[in-house]
Structure 1
Amino acid sequence: MATARASRAIKLFGTEVPDGKKRILTAGPIDAMLDNGALRYIRYRGVEVLRGIAFLVRDKNWGTYGPMIEGLKVKQGRDSFSVSYTATCKDKTQGIRYEARIEANASGVVKFSATGTPLSDFLTNRTGFVVLHPLVGIVGEPVEILHTDGKQRRSRFPKFISPGQPVFEIRSLKHTVMPGVTATVLMEGNKFEMEDHRNWMDASYKTYVCSLLDPWPYTLKKGESFDQSITVTLDGKPAGKVARQGGGTVDVSLGGAAGKLPAIGVGIAMGEAKAALAKVALIAAASPAHLVCQIDGRNGGQAAAAATFAKLKARTGKPVTLEVILPAKAEARKEMAEIAAEVRSGGLDPDAVVVTQMHDLKSFQPNTPRPWGPTYEEMAAAARKEFPRAVLGGGMLSYFTELNRKPAPRGTFDFVTHTICPIVHAADDISVMETLESLPSIFTSTRNMMGKTPYHLGPSGIPCRDNPYGAAVASNPNNGRVCLADMDPRQRGLFAAAWNLGLVAAASRGALDAVTLGAATGLQGVIYRKARHAQPWFDANDAAVFPAFHVLAGLAPASGARLMRAESSSPSSVAALALKSKRGPVLWLANLTGKIQSVRIKGFSGAGDSHRLDEGSFVMAARTPDFLSRPGMRLKKVTQTELAPYAVVRIAAA
C-alpha cells in the first residue's frame, strides 16, 4: 500500500543508512573533526591547515574498506585531546586490524600513529596513512620538502593539475598556513609520495604511503605487524589579525554579464535505451539540449540500440551525440566501418560522434606502456569517414585523470570531452560535496591543454559510470555510501540535486560549452523506474522523478542563456548560478551542507517568484515532473533567504 510519508534520511540521501557521527575536538588554537576514526579539517585559529589525515586500507581494485571501529576512547581536555581505537577491515577472503592513537596539544602538535597487523595474507594496492593538503591558500604556493635520503628542496604545489606524482620519496612537507605560521607534516614508517588529488575531483593534494612506482597490488603477510605515524607541528605566531574561514551568513552578490549557460544535456547508456524510450515523455518534458547515447563495439545489439536511439531522437526532437567505443582489436577504420554499418541499419543519424577505444577506458600511470590500440588521429580519421556530417569529439569517456595523462592533440577533434565522478576515493557526504571545489582546477587545466577547442563534459553524476582503476565497479547491495559503486542512493535524494546544481554553476564559471548530467534512467538516472536494487519510498509510491530531475528540467531549456555574475562568499556552503531573462535575474541557489544556511542576496532588484526543492516539497516534487512550472511563492523583495539542508531554490524575477 502506498504511503505519502518519506523519512528525512530518504528525502536527503535516498537511504536510511547513516553516514556516521562526527565530533569536533580542540587543543588550544587547534581544532579538528573526528570522523569514523579519521581527522579532517585540522585548523589553526580557524584557518585550515590540513584537509585530513586518515589510515586507509585499499583492495586490489582500489576500493576502500570501511573500518569496523571498536573500543573507541575520546578524551577532551582543557588544552588537549586524545583518541584511541581498534579497527578491523575485512571481506570474505582477507582481513587486517590496526591500533590507532591520536594526540594533540595546545603547543601546536598533532600526532596520529597506527600499528597494523594482517589477520591473513592481505592483498592490497595501498594500506596506511594519507595526508590531504587543502586547495584554498595552497594551490601554486611554496612547499619545503624533506626527502627520505635527507635532502631538502623548495618547490610549489602545482597550479595546473599534475598528471603524475609531483613529489616522490617524502619524509616531511612544510608550508605557510598564514603570515608568521608554518606547518610541518612529518611522515614515518615508510616512504611517502604525493599525487595531485584534483585529478579525481578530490579537493586536495594527497600524500600517501608507499609508491605507485613499486609493484601493486602487494601482499602484507599474516601476523607481520608494522608501524606508521604522522606528526603535524605548527610553528610561529600570526603576524596580524587572523581572518577565520567560513561561518555566519553567506552573501550572494549578483553583477554584470558572465558568458553563457552551457548546453545542458542528459546521458542514455546503451543498456538503458529501451527503459529511456519507455520514459520518453518525461525526457522530452525536461527538454535537454542533447542526448548523449553510447554504442559499445565490444557488445552485441548495436543496431537495436541505434534504432531505439533514433526513436528517442525523433520523439524528443533533440540532437544525439553518439559515443562509440572501438574494441581495439583491429585497425580503427575497419572497426569504425563495422559499427557505423550497425548504426545506419538502425536508422540513426547522429549529430555528433565521440570516438574512443577500449584501452582508454582504463587508467595508466604516466610514461608506462599501454596495450596496442588506435591513436587519436586514426580514430578521428575513421570517424570522419563514416560520419562526415557529424561534429566530432574525442578525449576520454573516463575521467579527467585519463585525459590529463593522454591529452588529445590540438586540432584533431571539433570538441574535447571527459567525465567526472565524485566517489573515486571517498564516498561520505562531506567528501562528495567537497569535490565541487576541485572543478575550477579541472576546467582550467583542461583549457590549458586544449586551448580554444570547445569543451564538453560527458555524462557525469554521483554514481560511478565505469571504473578505470579496477576490473569492475563496486557493488552496493545495501544502499550504502560506497566508493566506485555504480549505484549511489543519494542520486535519489535532495543531495544529488544540490550537487548537480553545484556542478552546473562551476561549469558555467569555467565557460564550458556543454554539460551532460548523468542519465535519464538507470543507476545514474534522474527519472524513476523499477530496478533490481531497492529504492526506498520510491518503490512503494507513485513517484515519477528524483529531485535532480528538476535541476535538469529547470536549466536545460535555458541552454545558451546569458549568465550574470553570481558570487557566493562561501562557495563550499552555497552554490549560486544566475541567468538573465527578459524580466530580470533567475537565481539558483543550492545548500551544499547538512546545516541550515542563511543567505543574504545583493543585486536582485524587484519582486521574485520562488520555488523550493527541499524536505517540505520532496513528495510533491517526486510526483510532479512539472513542479517548477507550478505557481511559486511571491517575494516582494529578494534580499535574503534561508536554505534547508541540501535544498535547491530558484528565484525568478516577477
Structure 2
Amino acid sequence: MNAPVAWRDVTSAARLDLRRARDDAWSESTEAPVELAAGPWLVELRGDEVADIRFDGVTLLRGVRAVVRDHDWGTAATVSGAAAHDGDALRLDVRFTAPGIDLVGAVTLEATADSLTIALQATAAAPYRGNRAGLVVLHPPVLAGTALTVVHPDGSSTGTRFPLEIAPHQPARDVAALAWTAGGLALALDLHGEVFEMEDQRNWTDASFKTYSRPLDRPFPYEIPAGGAVRQSIALAVTRRGGSEPPRHPASTPIRLVATGAAFPGIGVGAGPASAAPPQPGPGAPGLAAVLVELDPASTSWRDDLARAATEAGAAPLDVRLVTDDPTTLGEAAAALAGRPVARVGVFSRTTHVTGPTASRLLGEALDAAGVTAERVGGARSHFTELNRGRHDLPGDLDALTFSVTPEMHATDTDQLIESIDMQRLVARQAVALAEESTTTGRVHVGPITLRPRFNAVATSGDGPTDEAERLDPATVDHRQTSSALAAWTVSSALALAVPGVASLSFFETTGPRGLLTAAGEPTPAATAVALLAELTGGEVLEPDRPTPAGVRLAGVTTATGLRLVAANLSGVEARLEVVLPEDEDDPRLLVVPAWGVAVG
C-alpha cells in the first residue's frame, strides 16, 4: 500500500484575483477558494466542498460534499473552519445547523500516489430528524454514456452506463462501489458507512450525476438520537491504463455559423407580486411575447393577481398557469379570462405540480364554454424532473409542454449557476422530444425561469405557504438578482434553450424581489438582457460550427435589419471571437466579449 502524500496549498494570486473580480460582477462576497495538491492529486476547497478533483490533470469527480437535509429537504447551513493539517491528512471542521438540527464533526482528506480517501465523522449534538446526513459524490456530466460497473453490498455486480439521456429515475441502486474509466484511467470508488444510490441531477440542470445515501425507498424523515454518529467515507483508487492521448485543442481559426433550424423563442416575463409597487401599464420591453401569471382560483386574491398581470402586459397577451387541486374552480377562472388577450393556459396540481388528465380535460371544457381560444399547455410547474418522471401520464389533449428552470435546487453557489447553462440545452432538447411524442404541435414553453425555486416542490410536511407568502419567502430570492453578471447569465440561458421546438422563454418577474426592475423602478442588467432578447424573437438561429471558449455562448440571429451576433461570457477572461458570416466568407467579424458580460455585433 502506498504511503500517504502530504497536502500543500498551491493557490495562485491570479486565481484569487479572478475570484475577487467574479464577486464584483455577481454583487457578492464569497470565501476565497483554496487549491490543494498532493502528489498527482489536485482539488479545490470551496467552503465545505471538495471540488474539481483531478488526477494528473484529468477531472475525476465534480466534487464531494458532506450534506445534511431537514425533513423538507432543506439544506442545513454549514460552517467550516480553515483546513488544517493532521499529519499528512487534511482536516476540515464542520458544523451543520438548522431549526432542530445540530451536527458537529469533521471531513478529512488523505491521499497516496494512486488513491484519495474522504471521510466524514459527525455527532448529533441534539436529536436529528431529517432526510439525509452524509457524503454526496458528484460525477461530471461528460461521463454520459460511459460504461459503469455497480458493485452491490452482497458482492454481486451489475454492468450499466452513466445515462446518455437524462434519466427520470435512479440509474444505479443498492451501491457499495462503482468502477468506470476516464481519460485513460481506471477508477474504483468504494463507499462505506451506508448503502448508496445514484440520481441524474441534470434533471434540475445541475452539471452532475450524484451518488448519495440513504436510498430513497427507505422511510424518511429518519432520526439520529443525541450523541449518535454519522460515519461515512469514500475511497477513490486510480490505475493508469495507458494508451490515451491528451485532449487536442483546435488551432485558432475563425468560427463559422451554421443554421440550426430553430426560430428564436418569444421572450416573456413573470407578473410581479401583489405586494410590489403599483403595476406599470405595458410590458417592460418592446416585443415582449407574454406576461406569465400563476393563479390559484381557490385563493382570495387571484382576481387581483390577474388584473395586475393584465395591466403589466398592456397589449401583450397573458400566459396563464392555474394552480389548483379543485377542478370545480376552473369554470370561474376560465370565465375571468374571456375577452382578454391570452396566449396560453395550463392547469397544474398544487400537490404534485404536474398536469393531470382530468384537470386538463375539465380546463378545456371550461375554456370552450367561456369562448377563450388559447394554446393549451401542460407538464410541470416545478422542474423538468417532474415532467420527465411523469412522461407516460401526460394528458393526451395538450398543444404544448412546459416546465420551469431553477438551477439552485441543490446548491446556491455561483459555480452552480454557471454550470447549469450547458445542462439547460440538454433539458430543452429532451423536453422537445417528449413534446413531439405527446402534443399536437411538438412545442415547448420554458418558464418561469428563476434563479431559486419559487416554492419547495419536495416538501414532506404539507403544501407549505401559498400565494403571496410563497412568493415572498426569502428562500426564493437570490441576492444576485440585480448583479451585472446576471445579464450575461440571462443571455447565456436563452441561447442554450433556443433549440428547435422551444417556442417561448419566460424570465424572472417584472417587479419585486425576483424582478427585472428595482424598487425605484429602474431596469436591472437582467432587464436590459431581456429587452435585447425580445428583439430577436422569430429570427433564424445560427450557431458555431465548433466549441467556443469555456463559459462563452454565441449565436447569430437573423432580424429585419440583418444578421445579429449575440454572445455572453460567463468567465473571468475576455473572449475575442473571430466569426465568419454566411454572406461574407472573406471578411471575418471580430466580436470582443468582456468578462462576465454581453456583446452584440
SS of the counterpart of 2:498? helix
1:518-553 Cα deviation digits (max 9, x unpaired): 1111222111125xxxxxxxxxxxx71111111110
Give the corresponding residue for 1:504: 494
- Equivalences, count: 565
Does 1:47 pair with 2:58?
yes
- Distance in 1 between the 2:597 and 2:415 partners? 15
Q: CA deviation at 1:380?
A: 4.0
AA in 1 matched with 2:331: A
SS of the counterpart of 1:513? strand
TM-aligned CA distance change 1:484 to 1:54, over 3 Å: farther
Give the corresponding residue for 1:615: none
Please tell me whether the aligned partners of residues 270 and 296 of structure 1 are also in contact (alpha carbons under 8 angstroms): no
- Distance in 1 between the 2:213 and 2:226 partners? 20
SS of the counterpart of 1:639? strand
- Distance in 1 between the 2:159 and 2:371 partners? 51
Q: CA deviation at 1:87?
A: 0.7
TM-aligned CA distance change 1:71 to 1:36, over 3 Å: closer
Please tell me whether the aligned partners of residues 290 and 343 of structure 2 are also in contact (alpha carbons under 8 angstroms): no
TM-aligned CA distance change 1:95 to 1:336, over 3 Å: same
Q: CA deviation at 1:569?
A: 2.5
Q: CA deviation at 1:600?
A: 3.1
Structure 1 runs not aligned, ≥5 long: 1-6, 364-371, 475-482, 531-542, 608-635
1:401-422 Cα deviation digits (max 9, x unpaired): 1111223636421111010101
Please tell me whether the aligned partners of residues 354 and 380 of structure 2 are also in contact (alpha carbons under 8 angstroms): no
TM-aligned CA distance change 1:261 to 1:134, over 3 Å: same
1:454-507 Cα deviation digits (max 9, x unpaired): 111021121322220225589xxxxxxxx9921101111123212211111111
- Distance in 1 between the 2:477 and 2:252 partners? 33
Give the corresponding residue for 2:539: 561
Please tell me whether the aligned partners of residues 88 and 95 of structure 1 are also in contact (alpha carbons under 8 angstroms): yes
Mapping of 1:78-89 within 5 angstroms?
82-89=89-96
1:587-628 Cα deviation digits (max 9, x unpaired): 2222213x2233332315899xxxxxxxxxxxxxxxxxxxxx
Does 1:578 pair with 2:577?
no
Please tell me whether the aligned partners of residues 275 and 521 of structure 1 are also in contact (alpha carbons under 8 angstroms): yes
Does 1:290 pair with 2:293?
no
Identity among equivalent positions (%) equals: 24
1:148-167 Cα deviation digits (max 9, x unpaired): 12111110112222222121
- Distance in 2 between the 1:159 and 1:35 partners? 29
Give the corresponding residue for 2:109: 102
Give the corresponding residue for 1:358: 350
- Distance in 1 between the 2:402 and 2:157 partners? 40
Name the structure, 1 or 2, with higher relative contact order (CA <8 Å, separation 6+). 1
Q: CA deviation at 1:362?
A: 8.0
- Distance in 2 between the 1:382 and 1:133 partners? 47
Q: CA deviation at 1:269?
A: 4.7
TM-score if structure 1 supplies the norm length? 0.80
Q: CA deviation at 1:342?
A: 3.9
AA in 2 matched with 1:361: H
Q: CA deviation at 1:351?
A: 3.0
Give the corresponding residue for 1:643: 594
AA in 1 matched with 2:37: T
Q: CA deviation at 1:275?
A: 3.8
Q: CA deviation at 1:423?
A: 0.7
Does 1:12 pair with 2:25?
yes
TM-aligned CA distance change 1:446 to 1:354, over 3 Å: same
Give the corresponding residue for 1:527: 517
TM-aligned CA distance change 1:51 to 1:9, over 3 Å: closer
Picking from 192, 195, 201, the partner of 2:205 is 201
- Distance in 1 between the 2:413 and 2:32 partners? 11
- Distance in 2 between the 1:94 and 1:165 partners? 28
Structure 2 runs not aligned, ≥5 long: 1-19, 467-472
Please tell me whether the aligned partners of residues 569 and 575 of structure 2 are also in contact (alpha carbons under 8 angstroms): no
TM-aligned CA distance change 1:464 to 1:100, over 3 Å: same
Does 1:391 pair with 2:395?
no
AA in 2 matched with 1:405: R
Q: CA deviation at 1:61?
A: 1.9
- Distance in 2 between the 1:24 and 1:649 partners? 32
- Per mean C-alpha deviation after superposition, the further-off stretch among 229-238 and 283-292 is 283-292
Does 1:148 pair with 2:157?
no
Does 1:427 pair with 2:419?
no
TM-score if structure 2 supplies the norm length? 0.86
- Distance in 1 between the 2:48 and 2:375 partners? 50
Please tell me whether the aligned partners of residues 171 and 187 of structure 1 are also in contact (alpha carbons under 8 angstroms): yes
TM-aligned CA distance change 1:349 to 1:583, over 3 Å: closer
Mapping of 1:196-275 within 5 angstroms?
196-243=200-247, 253-258=255-260, 259-269=262-272, 271=274, 275=277
TM-aligned CA distance change 1:358 to 1:322, over 3 Å: same
- Per mean C-alpha deviation after superposition, the further-off stretch among 126-135 and 250-259 is 250-259
C-alpha RMSD of matched pairs (Å): 3.0
Q: CA deviation at 1:97?
A: 0.7
TM-aligned CA distance change 1:571 to 1:419, over 3 Å: farther
TM-aligned CA distance change 1:605 to 1:125, over 3 Å: same
SS of the counterpart of 1:432? helix
TM-aligned CA distance change 1:257 to 1:445, over 3 Å: closer
AA in 1 matched with 2:166: I
Q: CA deviation at 1:239?
A: 0.9
TM-aligned CA distance change 1:550 to 1:224, over 3 Å: same
SS of the counterpart of 2:84? strand
Q: CA deviation at 1:290?
A: 1.5
TM-aligned CA distance change 1:385 to 1:213, over 3 Å: farther
Please tell me whether the aligned partners of residues 567 and 593 of structure 2 are also in contact (alpha carbons under 8 angstroms): no
Does 1:463 pair with 2:437?
no
AA in 2 matched with 1:166: P
SS of the counterpart of 1:88? strand
SS of the counterpart of 1:222? coil
Please tell me whether the aligned partners of residues 264 and 514 of structure 1 are also in contact (alpha carbons under 8 angstroms): yes
1:342-371 Cα deviation digits (max 9, x unpaired): 444xx63423212222223389xxxxxxxx
- Distance in 1 between the 2:408 and 2:96 partners? 19
